[in-house]
Amino acid sequence: MNIAFATSALIEIDVQNDFCPGGSLAVMDGDTVVEPLNELARTFAVAGAPVIATQDWHPAGHSSFLSAGRKPREGEILWPDHCVQGTAGADFHPKLDIKPVTIIVRKGFRPGIDSYSAFFENDRKTATGLAPYLRGLNVDTLYIGGLATDYCVYYSCMDAILQGFAVYLLVDAIRGVGYPENSIEAALDAMKIAGVKTV
Ligand code: VGL
Ligand code: ZN
């Protein structure tokens, strides 16, 4: 990998306990993204390049939880309670090295809106502020990995392309939910068509 560190950033999506084995919304082998991301994060840090970590950060009783007892809107998926603010499930995986991380972006904290993407919440309008932040750092190229391939990684990559960034998906540092069936394959196909490159 020949990375232009002066104009690149690494984004580590939702490497949190609830998405790892033993968590309430565990992704199969979710913890295997930790080592490759750590290695890359240290490389970025040494080069003085920004490393962004995102955190799914829901208030208790969030509207995306099945336990809220709400009928899902068209195309919406409700989830088991996960990544509740301040709980161990919302913490980063204990082996994730956060020393190289330069900013943590929390999302999904508005009670009524779910948020998969690191850039925009699921209403597709409410911004997290990440795009202007990255532009302010003169970043035009993103290396993205983490959890989950078919949700937060997918929406983050697609929004990054829409925001005009070049996007490299770290294929050895992503794992997916796989629900509904073929969602991982569909996400990978759609990202490829959108212009996301794989490394
Ligand atoms: C995620 C489902 C619900 C993710 C977050 O990080 O991919 N998936 N909340
Ligand atoms: Zn969530």
Residues in the chain: 199
Ligand 1 nearest-atom number relative to CA 14: 6
**What angle do the packed helices 183-194 and 152-162 form, to 10 degrees?**
10
Place of tokens 């796989």: 178
Candidate from 15, 17, 18, 19 with most ligand 1 atoms within 8 A of CB, to mutate:
19
The structure tokens 């950060």 sit at 57
Query: 158 near 195, Cβ under 8 Å?
Result: no
Give me the residue spans of the domains in the chain.
10-198
In 3-state terms the chain splits into helix, strand, coil percentages (rounded to 5) of: 30, 20, 50
Rounded to 5 degrees, what are φ and ψ at 58?
A: -95, 140
Question: What's the CATH number of domain 10-198, 3.40.50.720, 3.40.50.850, 3.40.50.620, 3.30.110.30?
Answer: 3.40.50.850
The tens place of each residue's pLDDT in the chain, 199 residues long, gives 899 999 999 999 999 999 999 999 999 999 999 999 999 999 999 999 999 999 999 999 999 999 999 999 998 999 999 999 999 999 999 999 999 999 999 999 999 999 999 999 999 999 999 999 999 999 999 999 999 999 999 999 999 999 999 999 999 999 999 999 999 999 999 999 999 999 9
Q: Is the pTM of this model over 0.75?
A: yes
Sheet holding 103-107, edge to edge: 103-107, 51-56, 8-13, 141-147, 166-175, 197-198
Q: Is the CB of 14 under 6 A from ligand 1?
A: yes
